[in-house]
Structures are given as C-alpha cells and as structure tokens.
Structure 1
Amino acid sequence: MRLPEDFLNKMSALMEKDEYESLIQSYEKPRYYGLRINTLKISVEEFLKISPFELEPIPWVRDGFYYREGESPGKHPYYNAGLYYIQEPSAMLPGEVVDSQPGERILDLCAAPGGKTVQIAAGMKGRGILVANDISSDRVKALIKNIELCGVRNAIVTNETPQKLAGAFPEFFDKILVDAPCSGEGMFRKDQDAVKSWEKFKSEKCSAMQWDILEQVDKMLRPGGYIIYSTCTFSPEENEKMISAFLSLNNGYEVVEISTVGGMERGRPGWAEGNQAVAGTVRLWPHRVKGEGHFAALLRKKAGESRAAAYIPSDSDSRNDVRLNFFRSFAEENLSEDLNIGGGGYFDIKGSNLYAFPERVPELKGIRVAKFGWYLGEFGKNRFEPSHSMVVSLNKQDLKNTIDFACDSKELSSYLKGETLMLEGEKGMKAVCVNGYTLGWAKQMDYMLKNLYPKGWRRMS
C-alpha cells in the first residue's frame, strides 16, 4: 500500500523507530472483518446457535464478533432480517463506551451510516429518546435504512447543523456521542479512498471542525451528563490535543477513564503537552489490535445547577384523530392482542403518515426531521397501509398472520428479489419470515402471494 509521504514523515517523528516500523508493516497485513449482533431482535446466545458463520468475540464489545475473510454476511437472509450489523471491529468501541441504558436521552451527532446509532439503540431497548443526526442529506438516507432494518423504534433522525440542534435541545441529553469527522488515518488499510481524501482533509482542517462541534455539544448536555468523543485517526491534533484544549477551556469537565482490553493503549499525554488527564482516553492501533485505528474519550460534565429552562414537550398527539380507527382495524386483524402500539407513548400523524414514539419530545419546529420515531404506515382512502418499518420491528409472535421460509429455500430467494410467489393461502396481509424472524410484508391473493418487499431493499441476484 502506498501511503502519503507527509503522513509517513509525521508518524515517524511522533513514534519510536520500532513502533513506527510495526505500524507501517501492519498495512501489508490483511484487515479484520466484524459484525455486531442486533440484540433488539435476537440475543447473542440465540444467534450463536444459528450463526452460519464462524465467529470470534471482539474483546472491547459485548455483542461484536470477527468473521472470516471470504464470508459474505451481507448476502445472507439473516442480514435482511436485521439480526446483525456489519461493522469494522474498532468502530464498535465508541458505541460500547456510550453504555446506553433504557430511558436515557442520547444524541448521536454525526450518525450516518448508523452503525453506532443502532448499537446505542440496542442498549436503550426501545425506551427513552435517541436523536440520530447527520449534516449530509444523502447520508441520512442510509442512516434511516439501517435504523429501520435493525428495528429501532425510538429514534428521531435529523438533518441539521450542531448549532441548530443546540437551540432545540438546551441541556437536554444525558449522553452525546461525537464520532467526529476526521482525517481518517486509521482507515487507510480498510479503505483506499481514505488515503486519497487525506490529502484534501488533513488534520488542521478537521480539528477546526471538531472544535466547532464540541462547543455546540456542551450546550446540549445536561449537568452530570457524558460526551463520548471518537475519531478514526492517529493525529494528536484531533485526539489528545483536542481533548486537552477542551478541558482547559471547559473546567466543568473531567475525563472518565476507559478500561483497556485486547491490546488497546492509553492516550498519550506526551502528545498533549504533558496533560495527564488524556491518559484516561484510549487508542486502538492496527499493529496492536485486531482492527483499524481509533481513538475514544469519555468526558463527564460535572453536576451543577442547570442553566436551561425545563423543556416543554410538544403537544402533538393524534390519539383522537378519526383516521386511527383504520389503524386499529388493521391491528385487530393482524397484530397480537397484547401488542399495545402507542399505549406507552403517543401517536403522531404527519400528513398521511402515522408514527409512534415512547414519550413526548421537545417542540422541533424549524428542525429538519427526516424520520420521527417508529414509522407505522400511511393512511389511504378508508384504509391503512402498514410500512416495512413496522413489520421488521416486530417479532413473529407479535403477528397473527405469518409465512415462514427456510433461509436456503427458493421461495425466500424469490421473495427477497421482489418476485410474486405462486402459493395458496387465506387472503390478507402476511408477515414473511426467515426461520422465525420478520423480513417484510406480502399480501395473499387467491393463488399467489403478492410481494410487498420494498424496491430499494430487493436483491439483484
């Protein structure tokens, strides 16, 4: 691999000779591949019983595993069922450091494509408020798809600048993940494009963006809350020096030490003018761990009196909208009787679209919202059309009418391609499953099963 000359010179000046040579040699070795089991849909124990892949635990994450090069988990039907998310092993660390819990308010500020978002959502177990934001409207599309694929019900997806969000969520969040845009040096082995983009987006430009982001993040975090800051670069300017500078200008914060496992290394005070506080941060190096380069810091905002006014939740609630009767009729015919959608939270109808959310949220007027909570479906003329997002967020036992295919069956292959299946059955909506895990909707006609699998999700072969 050909690495930028400026990068080589920089790392050579920062590191001892032996370590520098080990780092450079690591680029000639094979990369590592990982997946994280989606515990919103299946437990780790249950997935290991049915896994079609040989898996090895990743040391720094509870539900992450290495799989062998040459395996194709993205082509297996269990991927379409959202049982796992494919993710570079080191990139799973920040989501683990978040340690999300049910009922918390969490912001994933630079969220696309969504790997860390769905990891956080798994810990929240459908309770609390998860705001997933990305400033790129194109990247938000992938973020929404991955959130829906993994069955996340309590996420609001926004497409905003940190400044706009800070105005809508003053001291609102318990935890904020900043997986900051960075120079990407840690991804050189994984992605050749990262080498090319490094020439355009070097650490000086990235560190300026990171600083602007952190200034806004402080405004959105409640006293006693946590910032999880991470990058996929080696640059001290974007890592230890960034944390040191933030601490020096924000004395209301302290570093919470992250435990080191599996070859992880502590942050280097010598790269931050000797600031010992950064020793509580961690680094993942490709020559020390089975993964790519990453940095993570956990910062706690010291407890104190909140300066923000108590937030006023939106009064939007569509429980009394007459169109809900169409949804209730659909639910009575198709959903389990003990599945009380909206019962613990509230419904919201935006245009003709129906959403559910576990609790009330702040007024979001002026904020670009790309997805609001659990998208259930759309109202037509005297009817309700359920969404794909609804069915993939449900378990088989939540549904009255299902059809189940084996993962290696021809019928399942045809369904995932969007083809009509010539099958007899009782008329009506059916949830299609693979070995008991939901994939999508179909509609049973007289002698055929009409395919309702979304076009943008279908397989080409």
Structure 2
Amino acid sequence: MNLPQTFQEKMKNLLQEEYDAFIRSYEEEKNQGLRINTLKISIDEFLQMNPFTTEKIPWVKEGYFYPGNERPGKHPYHEAGLYYIQEPSAMAVGEFVDPKPGEIILDLCAAPGGKTTHLASKMDGEGLLVSNEIHPQRAKILSQNVERMGIKNAIVTNETPERLAARFRGFFDRILVDAPCSGEGMFRKDEEARLHWSPENVALCASRQDGILDHAQSMLKPGGRLVYSTCTFSPEENEGTISRFLEKYPNFEIEQVEVYEGFNHGRAGWVENAAPNIERTIRIWPHRVKGEGHYIAVLKKNDGEEPPRFKYAKQKLDPKMLKAYQQFAGETLNISPSGYFIAFNDQLYVLPKEVPSLEKLKVLRPGLHLGTFKKNRFEPSHALALALSKEEAKNVMDLSAGSDEIIAYLKGEVLQANGSKGWHLITVDGYSIGWGKLAGNMMKNHYPKGLRWMGNK
C-alpha cells in the first residue's frame, strides 16, 4: 500500500518497536462488520435466519465480522433495516456513549449514520436523539439511514455547532462528537484519505476540533457525558485536542472506563502539556485488533450553569390533514404513533414528546415521517412502513428473502396478490420493508423510486 512518506516517518517515531507490526497490518485485508438493528429484530432472531458467514465482534454485543467476499449490502434484509454495515472499531464508540432509554442525546457530527443508529438502538425508541450534520448532502444520507433503521425518536438537523449551541445550552444528557479528522485510521480502506493527508491538514483538523468542542460542551447538562472520537492516529488531534480542551474547561474530567482486550490507552508522552489522566483515553490499533484505527475520550461535566427554560414544540397542522391520517390509521394500523403531530407543507410528522422548538433551524427530519396529504387523502411514507412491526399492520404481505417476488418488489414491479383492498405492509421474512396497495388481485408497488434495485443487484 502506498502510504505518505511523512506519515510513515511520523508513525515510526511514535510507535518505535511496534512500528513493524503496525505497517504489516496494511498488507492484511480490511475487516468488515455489520451491527444488528435491535429496534427491528433481536440478536437471537437474526442469528437464526442469518444468511451470512459471521464471527462475533468482542466489544459490541450486536456486532459481527463478515468475510469480504460476502455482500450483505446487496441483500433484502439490508433494505429492511435489520442491520447496519459499520466498520468494527467504529462500533466501540456507541458502547462508550452508552445512552439510556428516555435520555436526551446529541450526535453532533453524525453522517453517514453508523453511530447515530447505534445510539438509537440503545435508546429503544424512548427519549430524544438529535442527529446533526453540517454538510447538506451528507445530512441527506444520514436522514435516509435513520429512516431505513426504523428510528422513531430522532430529529435530523443540518446546522453548524454554533447555531445549535445558541439554541440548546445545557440541554443534553450525553453528546457524541465524532470529529472530522485527518482519517489516518482509515488509510487501509480509504484511498481518498491517503491522497489528501498532509501535516498541514492534521493541524487544520486539530484547530477545527477545538472549535467544535467549544460549542459541544455548552450543550451538555452538568453531570452529563461527552464522548470525543476520531478515526486518526495523530496525537495533535487526539491527546492534544483533549488536553487543550481540559485546560480550557477544568469543570470536565476524563472518566475511567473499562476497555476491551486489545484496546490501548492514550499516550501522555506524545503531546506537550498532556492533561491529567490522559492515559484513560482509548486507542484502537489495526495491528492489535481486527479493526481500523480509532481514538475515544470519555469526559464528564462535573458542574456548570443550570440550563435555561426551553420553549417546546407544539402540535401544528391542518385539522383536515389529521383527520385524513386518522382515517388511514383506523383502516390500516393496529396502533397509532403518539407524540406531537406537525406539518411541513403537505408532509405529516410525529415528534417525540418534550421536543424543543425547532423554529429557524434547518431540519431534514423532525421525528417520524408519517406520510403525505394529497387531495384530502393520506398516503403513508416509507419511513412509517420501516418503523412498523408486522403485528402493527392490519394487512401484511410477507415475501421470502430468497424469492423472485422480493426481488421484483425491490425493483418496483407490480405483484399478484389476494386479500383486502387498500394498503398492505410488505415484509421480508416477517420484517417490514415497504408498502403496497391492493386493488383487485394487483398489488401496486409503493417502494420508493430512488431506492429501487436496478438490473441484477
């Protein structure tokens, strides 16, 4: 592998006797992982129907390695949101954030959504998850992944940390800052990261990280947890960033957390003016575990100002729209999502309870998208289908993952079917994947055009 020469020299100086083992890891095949989405399926249920060759990832109970010659991203179970394909080391971050059901959580730099969807599964649909991404195109991908995994209690925003901090001072129980970085830890799997690496970019990233943390800390409640992570080896962006942060904010401390076998600790000798207990931070090395490079720091905010009183969102929509939805729900569902209903133009959403006002923020997904109000009738969204279990729909058409029918459905084709007229939840081996609408013996396909399989996928 063609690694930047300056990078090699830097790592040899840092790692010394471990350097040869580190460099050899670049000649090995990268490790692939998938994380079971426990919002939709239990671990045991998935393993009983698991079509892949998998091996347990030791540091996350829902995580499994799979071999590079298998393609779980091209399987109907992926479209049903039964798992998320995620780099194995990256799965450790959600474990250290460790959100609890009912808490208020912020993922500040969330795209493409691996860590956000992990946090959501741990919250089990309770509480509020705000997932933010500053870049608009990446925010759209984040929103799509939140939808695919059937997450009901997430808000996706496309904002700067500064604007969020102005709105949410002292609001969150836990905050994840998976910071933009020089990406050294991803060199084995990402050629772009290798091509764009330079010492100047490392310095630029470190400066940017300082600014992001400045805003993040102000949004955390006293007693809350802030987890900082990167996918780089650079001490300037890891121990250095955390040491600069703790010097500026002495009301924070590095928490002592249990680490998994093979994980390493932060190095005080790699930066000037290292913070006390910097060795409590965590380093993941590709020559020590089956994963790429990561750095994680778990911080606790010991005290701070009491948060201000927040203005909360209120239900806001045309009564005709709500009536149309309620008619649809009565005909189609055995349950009805609860919370605050809100309309964005002709789109209907249900927000988690206790959501703060979202006015004047760039919001891509304000909670669970229920559907669209069209000419006094209601058409359900793909997001609603993916958030439902088969027991929550009155009419279900179940297709086998190995059948020609599921492939036809994913390609957008009309299916032959019998049953009650109207909306049917389409499932794959019992797990929701989309909508169909039955008229006569023809099931009209409502799988979104932008997601449809093309050719022989």
Shorter-normalised TM range = over 0.9
Q: Does residue 1:326 correspond to 2:320, yes or no? A: no
1:357 partnered with 2:355: no
Root mean square deviation of aligned Cα: 1.4
Do the aligned partners of 1:126 and 1:358 also contact (CA within 8 Å) in 2?
A: no
The correspondence of residues 268-279 of structure 1 with structure 2, limited to 5 A, is 268-273=267-272, 274-279=274-279
Q: CA deviation at 1:360?
A: 2.8
Unaligned runs of at least 5 residues, structure 2: none
Aligned counterpart, 2:85: 86
Deviation at 1:57, TM superposition (A): 1.4
Residue in structure 1 matched with residue 155 of structure 2 by the alignment: 156
Report if the CA contact (8 A) 2:283-2:293 is conserved. Answer: yes
Letter aligned with residue 443 of structure 2: L
Give the deviation of 1:14 after TM superposition.
1.4
Does residue 280 of the first structure (1) align with residue 280 of the second (2)? yes
Task: State the alpha-carbon separation in 1 of the partners of residues 229 and 305 from structure 2.
Answer: 28
Q: Write out per-residue CA displacement over residues 263-313 of structure 1, whole angstroms, 9 at most, x where no aligned residue.
A: 10011111233544111110000000100000001000003551x312121
CA distance in structure 2 between the partners assigned to 1:238 and 1:200 by the alignment: 11
Match of 1:373 in 2: 367
Which residue in 1 is equivalent to 2:390?
396
Is the Cα contact below 8 Å between 1:168 and 1:363 reproduced in 2? Answer: no
Shift of 1:56: 1.4
SS in 2 for 1:412: helix
Distance in 1 (alpha carbons) for counterparts of 2:240 and 2:326 = 56
Deviations 1:25-82 (A, max 9, x none): 1101111100000000011111111111122111211211111121110111111110
Match of 1:340 in 2: 336
CA contact (8 A) 1:168 1:364 kept: no
Counterpart-to-counterpart distance in 2, 1:121 and 1:128: 9
TM-score, normalised via structure 2 length:
0.97
Query: 1:36 touches 1:86 (CA, 8 Å); kept in 2?
Result: yes
Alignment coverage as a number of residue pairs: 454
Alpha-carbon distance in 2 for matches of 1:260, 1:157: 31
Paired residue for 2:138?
A: 139
Question: Offset of 1:242 from its aligned partner?
Answer: 0.9
| Residue 250 of structure 1: aligned partner | 249
2:289 maps to 289
For residues 228 and 164 of structure 1, the distance between their equivalents in structure 2, rounded to whole angstroms, comes to: 20
**Runs of 4+ more than 6 Å apart:** none
**Counterpart secondary structure, 2:240:** helix
The corresponding residue for 1:302 is 302
Alignment-mate amino acid for residue 108 of structure 1: D
Q: Which residue of 2 aligns with 1:216?
A: 215
Contact 1:258 1:297 (8 Å CA) reproduced:
no
Provide the C-alpha distance between the structure 2 equivalents of 1:4 and 1:65, rounded to a whole number of angstroms. 31
Opposite residue 182 of structure 2, the aligned amino acid is S
Asked whether the equivalents of residues 399 and 428 of structure 2 are also in contact (C-alpha less than 8 Å), the reply is yes
Q: Measure how far apart 1:129 and its partner are.
A: 1.1
Unaligned runs of 5+ in 1: none
Rounded Cα–Cα distance in structure 2 between residues aligned with 1:266 and 1:348: 47
Query: Are residues 1:438 and 2:437 paired?
Result: no
Contact 1:341 1:356 (8 Å CA) reproduced: yes
Aligned counterpart for 1:421 among listed residues 412, 415, 420: 415
- Using a 3 Å threshold, how does the CA distance of structure 1 residues 149 and 388 change in structure 2: closer, same or farther? same
- 1:206 Cα deviation (Å)? 0.3
Tell me the amino acid that sits aligned with residue 133 of structure 1.
Answer: N
Task: Spell out, residue by residue over 1:349-375, the C-alpha distance to the aligned partner (whole angstroms, 9 max, x if none).
Answer: 222111112213222222111110000
SS of the residue 2:360 aligns to:
coil
2:124 is aligned to 125
**Letter matched to residue 323 of structure 1:** M
What's the CA shift for 1:323? 2.2
